[in-house]
A and B are shown apart, each in its own frame.
Chain A
């Protein structure tokens, strides 16, 4: 029975000792140790977080670079394409214009030829008319002198004046 009866003296000393131990350890051991441990843990957590952040940033940066490069490449491509287009267009335009110019010149030339031709024809006509008149005059005069001769003349004349 002794064994399971708490002795007041020991209860008292245990209580006093334990409370003193609790007080001292709490103030001078647990607080600094737990504080140090949790500070260190915080530090590690922060360091890891910042490393992760840096990595993220790095990744972003790389991605940005890649994107910019891509964009630049695309731009160059577009520019080259534009230039090619412009060149082709210019060539095409020039061709067209030249064509148009040539056709125009040809047309003008044709018109000029036509008009020259007309003028030539008109002159020829008037020339022929004059010549005809001359012939007629001569014929008429010959006829008036000799009928046979006149006829022969006409015939000769006509033979001479084959139209080309």
Chain B
């Protein structure tokens, strides 16, 4: 029985996604196309760079641009005016860089780097020399005055600080997102307190269907009528936390603060799901991992390592799924936009805009789907951990 249910459950997400199949297929097709374009363009431009060595102006590198947008950064850059001219002006929210090394805690504003992320600007603080190399803070080795790079563009004479707890743009956007979440849900909760007979009004009538959806479509069926209540706060929190950050990642003016497409973020949430699953695992759960009932002994021995691997694979799949889906969405949109600069033609702009609009609309759906999938799978794992013998 467990084997069957396990299989069903493992494939359940696919079934659940079944309704979105046409959309997903299209997404996949577009991902493939976009990646092909991306790789082709990167390759050809690498080639072009080689041939045109020592060219006058800086070549547009879509790969660097996309990675720069998808990855974390120390400052919250909103816009750049008059780029490349003397009057270049960056509209940026400076954020604190916080490092901890043997020399203690060092805190300084990211504006000290002056928007440089190529390791040129050296910031001296607390007896250490900091440089920003591709949005990663490095400390120059003693005696070095300038960063030198190896063939793969890694600094050779600088090292990462022991701990880097900087309030990066992802952390900043995360705080903005929780401020929004708190604003929405605390005011919704207040509505209930005020209203008689618990009739929802205002914002409460907007969030209630969503909350009831998480309860009735995720919590109850996946965990079971009797035990779901314990897990509801967690499920609701991750659902809305992931969803709102997915949405924030799509807002262009926020410069693609790609929090939910950052592996550190998905890793943390997946790790929490894993910890909760492991802690709430009952006797039945562990028995199914270490000594599968209902199968012959050689099979039990054979299944044990598979089940143990499965224990870890489940949260890892959660981590990668969210990260890859959101990052891929950003990459596609940015790649489509890069086409304008790659071809250096306004004529391509309508095509780029049309395609990226199309992908953005799909991404809006994906924001909700991915939050839903992460939540429903977490609930599924909790349900498996707490399932009673039958």
Contact = CB atoms under 8 A, between A and B. Distances in A.
Interface of A: 2-15, 17-18, 20-22, 24-26, 28-34, 36-37, 39-40, 43
A7 B193 contact: no
Nearest to B261: A3
B197 A29 contact: no
A4 B175 CA distance: 23
19 contacts: A3-B71, A7-B72, A8-B163, A9-B165, A13-B165, A14-B265, A14-B269, A18-B237, A18-B241, A18-B268, A22-B233, A24-B182, A25-B181, A29-B182, A30-B185, A30-B233, A33-B185, A34-B211, A36-B198
A22 B237 CA distance: 6
Interface in B283-305: none
B250 interface: no
Interface stretch (B12-20, B81-89, B166-174, B344-352): B166-174
Contacts of B208: 33, 37
Contacts of B323: 4
Contacts of A37: 198, 208, 211-212, 215
B203 to A, nearest CB: 11
A9 B168 contact: yes
Contact of B192 (A5, A14, A20, A36): A36
Interface string B111-138: 0000000000000000000000010100
Given A13-B174, A30-B233, A37-B211, 11 more contacts: A2-B136, A3-B327, A6-B267, A8-B164, A10-B168, A11-B264, A17-B175, A25-B237, A30-B236, A36-B192, A40-B199
Interface residues of B, number: 52
Contacts of B215: 34, 37
A19 to B, nearest CB: 8
B147 interface: no
B262 interface: yes
Contacts of B70: 3
Contacts of B236: 25, 30
Interface of B: 67, 70-72, 98, 134, 136, 163-168, 170-171, 174-175, 178, 181-182, 185-186, 188-189, 192-193, 197-200, 204, 207-208, 211-212, 215, 232-234, 236-237, 241, 262-265, 267-269, 272, 323, 327
A13 B269 CA distance: 12
A24 B264 CA distance: 23
A21 B241 contact: yes
Contacts of A7: 72, 164, 262, 264
A10 B266 CA distance: 10
B181 A21 contact: yes
Contacts of B170: 10
B178 A10 contact: no
A14 B168 CA distance: 11
B75 to A, nearest CB: 15
Contact of B186 (A8, A10, A22, A28): A28
Contacts of A10: 72, 168, 170-171, 262, 264-265
A14 B233 contact: no
A104 to B, nearest CB: 92
Which 9 A-B pairs give the minimum distances between C-beta atoms?
A10-B264, A29-B185, A26-B233, A6-B264, A36-B198, A36-B192, A14-B268, A40-B198, A32-B189
Contacts of A8: 163-164, 264
Given A25-B185, A33-B192, A33-B211, A17 B178 contact: yes
Nearest to B175: A17
Contacts of B232: 30, 34
Given A11-B267, A11-B268, A21-B182, A2 B233 contact: no
A2 to B, nearest CB: 6
> Which residue, A10, A34, A36, A43, has most C-beta atoms of chain B within 10 A?
A10
B71 A2 contact: yes
A13 B167 CA distance: 8
A24 B189 CA distance: 12
A6 B263 contact: yes
Among B186, B215, B237: residue with most chain A CB under 10 A: B237
Contacts of A25: 181-182, 185, 233, 236-237
Nearest to B135: A2
Contacts of A15: 268, 272
